[in-house]
Structures are given as structure tokens and as C-alpha cells.
């Protein structure tokens, strides 16, 4: 059987840490050339490039913010010029702040919303336009169960991730006309830096109530994501799939 992503060209946001790093490695293992962006850690970017190339796949890294609209347009053009196109986009990059709503500052609210929601426009539009021209593509958005369930997470974070669900469903209607699929994964608690910022009490409660009895490993989400953006998942569009270890609502 051929690899899930044989010959595909993927771009992943936030590719140097946590789920993003796992996505880069698993996608490369499954046959995709992988490009990714990052904000600050050149050393981590170098490590991810080495992991991608270890699977005999092409790798590109870009030190540019997901909120930089001009930077993202340039990035998309460069990938297309070098690789001929982009088949897969994963909107993974996100930030959170451990704020109570009553004490959330204007700056914290704007930072989370601008990064998590504004990036959907900045990143997706130039790549989506390229997918329209080639009449194929798959967009996967990594949202959160915090957008669906009443969890003790920050309001600005839950709001931004709920916006991602609306983005997914509405864009999928338009995109389907051009042969482009748009789906999302609502992730539970995974062992990442983002989760480590959560209150210890919440983590203990999650491990007790989740049937898996633990937090997820980033590679576990990446394995499922690889299937979701593959040609074998040919009839799913506008869907939000929960991957949370069987947590009780």
C-alpha cells in the first residue's frame, strides 16, 4: 500500500513545537514534502528540517508570523515557485493565556484573537487561492474541545477556537465548488507547552474522566490528521472531528 501523502506538498503553521512538530514529522513519513513557519527558535527549525529530510522529503522553513499578511503572501508564492503548488494546509499555530475573563486585559484579548483568528485569513487566503487555481487541496484547522464544551479554559482562547469552527464550516461550502476540502480537528488535552500552562487541577480531572486516562501525545493527533488530509478521506468536508481520548462531557 502506498504512503498516505505520497507526492503531496504541505504547509503547516507553528511547525517547531508540540502538535506542529509532530505533524511535520508524520506528514514527511507518509510521503509529503513539508514547509512550515515559526516565530523564534532557529535551532528547533533546523531540527525539524532534519527530521523531514531524513524521510527523503523536501523541507522549507519560514521565520514569519502567522499574522503577517504580506509575509504569508510572499511565503505562499515562494512555495509555489519552488514546488509547483501546495496540496495541504494545516492551520495549527495558536496561543493561549491563563486569564480569567474579569481580569483579561485589552492587550491579552487582542493578542489571542488576532493570532488565533486573524491568522486564519492571513495564512489561508493566499494558499486557498492557489488551491482554487489547481482545483484541488485539503485544509485542516486544529481547533479545540474548549470551543465546544464548557471547560475551565480562557474565554478568549475558547472564543478564537469557536471562530475556527465557523470558518471551517462556511469555507467548506465555498471550497467544495473548487475541489478543495476544509475540515477540522477539535483537540482535547495533549502533552504540549500549551497544555502545561493549564491548572494542575484541570489536568488531574481530565486524566480521571478521559477513558484513555492520560493526555494525548502530539503524534497521536498527527497520525489522524494525516488521514484526514489524504485522498483516502475523499468524502468528508466541513466536519469537526473530536480527538480527545474519550473525555466525558
- Short-list 210, 228, 218, CA closest to 8: 228
- Is residue 143 exposed (0-12), middle (13-18) or buried (19+ Cβ within 10 Å)? buried
The three cell numbers locating residue 203: 489536568
38, 128, 157, 224: which one is catalytic?
157
Residue 115 φ then ψ, to 5°: -75, -50
DSSP characters over 10-29: EEESSTTSHHHHHHHHHHHH
Is 128 an annotated catalytic residue?
A: no
What b/e readout covers 176-189, taking b as 16+ CB neighbours within 10 angstroms?
A: eeeebbbbbbbbbb
The DSSP call for residue 221 is H
What is the set of active-site residues? 157
Amino acid at each position: 500500500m502506498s504512503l498516505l501523502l505520497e507526492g503531496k506538498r504541505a504547509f503547516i503553521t507553528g511547525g517547531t513545537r508540540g502538535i506542529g512538530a509532530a505533524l511535520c514529522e508524520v506528514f514527511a513519513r507518509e510521503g509529503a514534502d513539508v514547509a512550515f513557519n515559526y516565530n523564534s527558535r532557529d535551532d528547533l527549525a533546523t531540527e525539524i528540517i532534519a527530521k523531514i529530510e531524513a524521510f527523503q522529503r523536501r523541507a522549507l522553513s519560514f521565520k514569519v508570523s502567522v499574522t503577517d499578511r504580506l509575509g504569508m503572501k510572499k511565503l505562499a508564492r515562494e512555495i509555489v515557485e519552488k514546488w509547483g503548488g501546495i496540496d495541504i494546509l494545516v492551520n495549527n499555530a495558536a496561543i493561549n493565556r491563563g486569564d480569567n475573563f474579569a481580569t483579561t486585559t485589552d492587550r491579552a484579548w487582542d493578542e489571542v484573537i488576532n493570532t488565533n483568528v486573524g491568522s486564519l485569513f492571513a495564512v489561508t487566503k493566499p494558499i486557498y487561492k492557489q488551491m482554487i487555481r489547481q482545483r484541488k487541496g485539503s485544509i485542516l484547522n486544529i481547533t479545540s474541545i474548549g470551543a465546544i464544551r464548557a471547560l475551565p479554559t480562557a474565554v478568549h482562547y475558547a472564543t478564537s477556537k469557536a471562530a475556527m469552527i465557523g470558518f471551517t464550516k462556511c469555507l467548506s461550502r465555498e471550497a467544495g465548488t473548487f475541489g478543495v476540502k476544509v475540515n477540522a480537528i477539535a483537540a482535547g488535552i495533549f502533552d504540549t507547552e500549551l497544555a502545561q500552562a493549564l491548572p494542575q487541577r484541570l489536568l488531574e480531572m481530565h486524566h480521571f474522566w478521559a477513558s484513555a486516562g492520560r493526555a494525548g501525545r502530539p503524534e497521536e493527533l498527527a497520525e489522524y490528521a494525516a488521514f484526514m488530509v489524504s485522498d483516502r478521506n475523499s468524502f468528508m468536508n466541513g466536519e469537526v472531528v473530536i480527538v480527545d481520548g474519550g473525555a466525558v462531557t
